[in-house]
Amino acid sequence: MKNFKRKPFALCVILLSTLFSCQLAEDIDDFKPLYALEATSAIVGETSAENALNGAYAKYKQIAFSTISRGLLSGDLVVGGYYNRFPEMEGWSRNDPPSNIDRFTLNDYSAMYSSINNCNWLIQEITKLDASEFTNLERKNEIIGEAKLLRANTHFKLLQSFGQFYDMGSNFGIDVRLLPASSDKAFPRKTVTETYTAILQDLNDGILMAPDLRGGVKGYMNKSFGKGLKAKILLYMGNYSEAASVATDLINTGGSNFALNPTHEGIFFPKNSQELFMHPEVLFGIMGTPEANSSLYIGLDIGGGFFGWEPYNILTAASGSIDINGQMINFDGNRFENLFTPSTVYVPRKYSTDLSTENHEMWIQLRMAEVYLILAEADARANNAVTTAALNALNAVRLRAGATTTGTDGFETYPASISLDQFLTAVRIEKQVELYLETGESWFDLVRYDYIDGFGTGFQVSDVKASATNTDKFILPIPIKSVEASGGVTVQNPSYE
């Protein structure tokens, strides 16, 4: 087992104040929410349609606390210092989110539904326009495709946070919105199955209609992102064979635009040019640029937002090892260490930390390494065995990270003799280390693995995070203001009533 030098840990994933006010580009700085405008006058041609799409992206950019809450729930983040004064964050850290305080939860909940509403207005109104009103006759359909993929992704984010995403038989899905809101009327929550059905329909439409890759930039929705997200959702649904098939197709057809980056560290650099937004590894991410009000500057708050001590769970994963028939294989080589600035504190270099020179930022939402790991888990679960395809997919990510194939101890590829249980553990921890500080996926993996084994038996979330014992609180409460405003139409999540 590797030993990391003990250091204070300073961490905040998103620059809070800047992120709430930022926009994607200067041409939408004055953009008003579509739900506040007359739909028939808001979108009248190509320019207003593009602005409306940018507005939906801008709203999505404001969902800052979803990543923070997931990190605190899983134990991959710690809270302290300035943010220790907020009971909501302290509750996430204790796996006991408060239901009567929703300052940050409400921000994400509102921003996501606002983004969805922008998409709904756009889809409704652009459908009425003739294709001849667009300079590129295909652009009309591409805009609809981008909007549907963004809507699908945002509904999925809502389900992850506020619905029992792991249980296809649960009634606790989310309020799926497919039409623009013209009033404050509340609607009942859909079941989890109904929610996934709506998301998949949008994904299928988006995969058909969205651009292959707009301008070579990964800051816009594209067909390949749609395929990657579809594979992920099918994995969540337990449709393992189909998830493996979709992931395999993306890996085989992605070409040079969508492929594993040569190095893990290189995905996150350079931070001073548009090249950051064009890495083949990335399927989709939120961009921050030097233009006024459009920068994320996530890393600038890392040294001054969350102050605590080293996050035990991620350090344990990064320094841990597994015994495979006498061969001691390390979970990580240098990925964790290489992406932290040498300092007396852990300052993650996945995000910008220098305002003067690091003026480009990308908050990655999905990348090819995760697609490989989706394939690994899905194919193994579909066949109830460690298949060659599953093993190769996992080892491809490790080889890119510097793993060797000598058959000795250390940071090695996994051998064919690995058991199924060991393999699934290895996949989960690989994702935790590989995707650290990106979308908080390790929390959802913990919950899914626990549910698949049967809550209370087999693997349990509490094996990793001791305070995570109440399965009802594996998801967040619906913001109390939303529940109260619905007049009883919106049902609160269990244990939060």
Instruction: List pLDDT tens digits, range 93-115.
Output: 999 999 998 888 898 899 999 99
Question: What letters, b where the CB count within 10 A reaches 16 and e where it falls short, cover 12-27?
Answer: bbbbbebbeebbbbee
Which stretch of 28-42, 198-212, 264-278 has the lowest confidence by average pLDDT? 28-42
Rounded mean pLDDT of 53-62? 87
| CB 391 within 8 Å of CB 413 | no
The band of 321, judged by pLDDT with boundaries at 50, 70 and 90, is very high
pLDDT at 337 over 90: no
Residue 345's pLDDT is 55
- Which segments of 238-364 does DSSP mark as H helices, in order? 240-253, 312-319, 335-338
1 lies in some domain: no
Q: Tell me which residue range forms the domain holding 232.
A: 8-485
Residue indicated by tokens 């739900």: 35
Q: What's the pLDDT score for residue 355?
A: 58
Q: Tell me which range, 30-39, 46-55, 352-361, is most confidently predicted by mean pLDDT.
A: 46-55
247 has a pLDDT exceeding 50? yes
Mean of the pLDDT values across residues 265-286? 93
Do 209 and 123 form a contact (C-beta atoms < 8 A)?
A: no
**92-96, 133-137, 478-482: least confident range:** 133-137
Q: Is the pLDDT of residue 304 over 90?
A: no
pTM over 0.75: yes
Which phi and psi (to 5°) does residue 198 adopt?
-65, -40
- 3-state secondary structure (DSSP) of residue 426: helix
Distance CA 326, CA 185 (A): 62
pLDDT of residue 302: 39
Cα separation, 483 vs 468, whole angstroms? 25
Q: How confident is the model over 278-290, as a mean pLDDT?
A: 90
Q: Is residue 237 part of a domain?
A: yes
Higher pLDDT, 101 or 433: 433
Indicate the pLDDT class of residue 342, thresholds 50, 70 and 90.
Answer: low
- Whether residue 364 has pLDDT greater than 80: yes
Specify whether the CB–CB gap between 473 and 480 falls below 8 A. no
Residue 497 lies in a domain: no
Q: What confidence score (pLDDT) does residue 437 get?
A: 82
Helix, strand, coil fractions of the chain, as percent rounded to 5: 50, 5, 40
Residue 65 pLDDT: 65
pLDDT band at 168 (very low <50, low <70, confident <90, very high): very high
Instruction: Give residue-wise pLDDT tens across range 196-221.
Output: 999 999 999 999 999 999 999 999 99
Give the confidence band of 301 by pLDDT, cuts at 50, 70, 90: very low
Domain for residue 319, yes or no? yes
Write down the pLDDT at residue 303. Answer: 38
Q: What span, in angstroms and rounded, lies between the C-alpha atoms of 398 and 253?
A: 21
Residue the block writes with tokens 């009802």? 472
Residue 262 carries which DSSP code?
S
Q: What's the pLDDT at 21?
A: 31
| Distance from C-alpha of 409 to C-alpha of 85, rounded to nearest angstrom | 45
For the cut 60, the answer to whether the pLDDT of residue 390 exceeds it is yes
Specify the CATH number for the domain of residue 193. Answer: 1.25.40.390
143 band by pLDDT with thresholds 50, 70 and 90: very high
pLDDT at 8: 44
Q: Which residues contact 380 (CB under 8 A, 6 or more apart)?
A: 386, 387, 390, 420, 423, 424, 427
Give the residue, 14 or 179, on which the prediction is more confident.
179
Q: Is residue 235 one of the residues assigned to a domain?
A: yes
Question: So what's the pLDDT on residue 272?
Answer: 86
Q: Lowest-confidence range among 43-47, 161-165, 372-376?
A: 43-47
Strand extents, DSSP E, 144-289: 282-288
Residue 116: inside a domain: yes
Please check the confidence at residue 29 and state whether its pLDDT lies above 50: no
Q: Is residue 188 part of a domain?
A: yes
Q: pLDDT grade, residue 1 (50/70/90)?
A: low
The H-or-E segment that residue 193 falls in is: helix 192-209
- Can you tell me the mean pLDDT for 162-182? 96
Among 11-20, 153-162, 240-249, 390-399, the range scoring the smallest mean pLDDT is 11-20
* HEC profile of 327-349: EEEECCCCHHHHCEECCCCEEEC
In this prediction, residue 340 carries a pLDDT of 67
Of residues 17 and 64, more confidence is placed in 64
Most confident of 26-30, 66-70, 318-322: 318-322
Per-residue pLDDT at 482 exceeds 80: yes
Give the least confident one: 150-164, 196-210, 476-490. Answer: 476-490
Whether 451 is covered by a domain: the verdict is yes
**438-472 pLDDT per residue, tens:** 898 999 999 999 999 999 899 999 999 999 999 99
Please compute the mean of the pLDDT values over residues 296-300 and round it to a whole number.
Answer: 49
Q: Give pLDDT, residue 441.
A: 95
- Work out how many domains the chain is built from and give that number: 1
* pLDDT range class, residue 85, cuts 50, 70, 90: confident
